[in-house]
């Protein structure tokens, strides 16, 4: 024969979880404060000094952002790109080639290429993607401008479009021949 026992009655107040010590790891962690999308992000221009680039600022193009390469594998710098242009350079940054949002963004610049370049500005796409992935993207989307590869994100960080801890913010950066920043907008 089996004997049935009644369950003990549950206490009216549930037991409290144990208190954490004041010096525990969980209490020492703090969340970083988000940066608003419409403000420029602090960056370094290769000098190690944090800065925020805004329209109207002037930058020294010599060594600014380090060495990058085109989708064809040719090494270049922002200074060389500006020197080769008529009035300056438009860099649009995108997180990852061949993704829906980046394809839309790149195709908008493709579709408005003639009116934009009529102003004398050279247009370039900039991401942390590899040359191979950018070459595929350029060919597939029939893009009339070069895509710049910055896997170390030196130029991306220098113009304030780097996400922490890694990644690229979608944005536009325009610099004139004289090093004058004409636009620096993230999230557009």
Query: Residue 78's pLDDT is what?
Result: 96
- The tokens describing 159, both together, are 């113009």
pLDDT of 130 over the 70 cut:
yes
pLDDT digits (tens, 9 = 90+) for 98-111: 999 999 999 999 99
Distance CA 147, CA 137 (A): 9
Q: What b/e readout covers 108-143, taking b as 16+ CB neighbours within 10 angstroms?
A: ebbeeeeeebeeebbbbbbbbbebebbbebbeebeb
Helix (H, G, I), strand (E, B) or coil at 150: coil
Element housing 121 (H / E): strand 121-127
Is 102 designated active site? yes
Given 89, 102, 148, 156, which residue is catalytic? 102
Cβ-based neighbour number of residue 39 at 10 Å: 13
Query: Contact, 150 vs 129, CB < 8 A?
Result: no
- The tokens describing 24, both together, are 């525990």
pLDDT of 59 over the 70 cut:
yes
Q: How many residues does the chain have?
A: 188
The pTM (predicted TM-score) of the whole model is 0.72
Give the number of C-alpha atoms closer than 13 A to the C-alpha of residue 41, restricted to the C-beta side.
24
- The tokens describing 133, both together, are 């992935």
pLDDT digits (tens, 9 = 90+) for 76-123: 999 999 999 999 999 999 999 999 999 999 999 999 999 999 999 999
pLDDT of 50 over the 70 cut:
no
DSSP string, 8-52: PPPPSSPPPPPPPPTT-HHHH--PPPPPPTTSPPPEE-SSS-EE-
Q: Which residue has the higher pLDDT, 164 or 150?
A: 150
Query: Residue 39's pLDDT is what?
Result: 38
Query: Contact, 148 vs 173, CB < 8 A?
Result: no
Element housing 107 (H / E): helix 100-111
pLDDT of 49 over the 50 cut:
no
pLDDT of 45 over the 60 cut:
no
pLDDT band at 44 (very low <50, low <70, confident <90, very high): very low
- The tokens describing 152, both together, are 């170390």
pLDDT band at 165 (very low <50, low <70, confident <90, very high): confident
Shortest CA distance to 153 belongs to which of 33, 68, 40? 68
- The tokens describing 12, both together, are 């009216």
């Amino acid at each position: 024969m089996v004997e049935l026992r009644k369950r003990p009655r549950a206490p009216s107040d549930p037991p409290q979880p144990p208190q954490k010590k004041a010096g525990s790891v969980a209490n020492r962690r703090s969340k970083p404060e988000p940066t608003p999308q419409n403000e420029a992000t602090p960056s370094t221009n290769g000098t190690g000094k944090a800065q925020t680039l805004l329209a109207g600022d002037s930058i020294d193009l010599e060594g600014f952002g380090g060495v990058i390469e085109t989708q064809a594998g040719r090494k270049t710098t922002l200074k060389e790109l500006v020197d080769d242009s008529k009035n300056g350079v438009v860099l649009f940054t995108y997180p990852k080639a061949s993704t829906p949002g980046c394809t839309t963004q790149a195709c908008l610049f493709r579709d408005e290429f003639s009116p934009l370049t009529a102003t004398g500005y050279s247009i370039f796409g900039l991401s942390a993607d590899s040359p191979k992935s950018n070459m595929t993207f350029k060919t597939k989307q029939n893009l009339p401008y070069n895509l710049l590869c910055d896997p170390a994100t030196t130029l991306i960080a220098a113009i304030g479009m780097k996400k922490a801890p890694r990644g690229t913010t979608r944005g536009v950066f325009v610099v004139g021949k004289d090093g004058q920043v004409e636009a620096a907008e993230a999230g557009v």
